[in-house]
Amino acid sequence: MKKAILISALLFPLAMMAQEKTLSVSVTNNWNKAKSDEPIVLKFTEIKKLSFNVSSATITLNGKDIPCQLDDLNGDTKNDELVFLADIPAKATQTYEVKLCAKGENKNYDSRVYAHMGLNDKYGKYPTINGIEAPGDSYIFKDVYPHGAEFENEFTAWRVYVDERQNIDLYGKKKRQLELEKTHFYSVKEDLDNGFGNDVLWAGASMGCGTLREFKNGSPLLIDNVKLRGQRIASYGPLRTVVEMKDLGWNGNNIYTYYILYAGHREMEVQINADEALKNWQLCTGVQKVGTEPKHFTTSNIAASWGSDYPDYGKKELYKPEAVGLAVYVPKKYADKQVNDTLQYMITLKPSQFAKYYVSFCADMEEEGFHSAEEWFGSLAEWKEELDNAIKVKITSK
201, part of any domain: yes
- Residues 120 and 59 placed together within one structural domain of the fold: no
Q: pLDDT tens digits for the chain (398 residues)?
A: 444 444 444 444 544 556 999 999 999 999 999 999 999 999 999 999 999 999 999 999 999 999 999 999 999 999 999 999 999 999 999 999 999 999 999 999 999 999 999 999 888 889 999 999 999 999 999 999 999 999 999 999 999 999 999 999 999 999 999 999 999 999 999 999 999 999 999 998 899 999 999 999 999 999 999 999 999 999 999 999 999 999 999 999 999 999 999 999 999 999 999 999 888 889 999 999 999 999 999 999 999 999 999 999 989 999 999 999 999 999 999 999 999 999 999 999 999 999 999 999 999 999 999 999 999 999 999 999 999 999 999 999 98
The β-bridge relationship of strands 81-88 and 35-43 is antiparallel
Domain housing 332: 114-367
Instruction: Collect all residues with Cβ–Cβ distance below 8 Å to 265 and sequence separation of at least 6.
Output: 37, 39, 153, 155
178 CB-side CA count, 13 A = 17
Q: Is 292 exposed, middle or buried (0-12, 13-18, 19+ CB in 10 A)?
A: exposed
- The span from the CA of 322 to the CA of 320, in Å, is 6
Q: Are residues 51 and 120 in the same domain?
A: no
Same domain, yes or no, for 84 and 131? no
Q: What does the alpha-carbon distance between residue 197 and residue 202 come to, in Å, rounded to a whole number? A: 15
91: domain CATH number is 2.60.40.1180
Number of folded domains in the chain?
A: 2
Q: Are residues 186 and 274 in the same domain?
A: yes
| CA atoms in the 13 A half-sphere facing the CB of 249 | 11
Same domain? 196 vs 332? yes
Q: Which residues of 199-223 are buried (b: 16+ CB within 10 A; e: fewer)?
A: bbbbbeebbbbbbbbbbeeeebeeb
- Residue 130 is part of a domain; what is its CATH number? 2.70.98
* Pair 80, 155 in one domain: no
Does any domain span residue 234?
yes
Q: Is residue 277 part of a domain?
A: yes
In a shared domain, residues 90 and 154 = no
* CA pair distance 115, 138, nearest whole angstrom: 24
152 and 87 co-located in one domain: no
Q: Answer yes or no: is 379 within a domain.
A: no
- Say how far apart CA 35 and CA 37 lie, in whole Å: 7
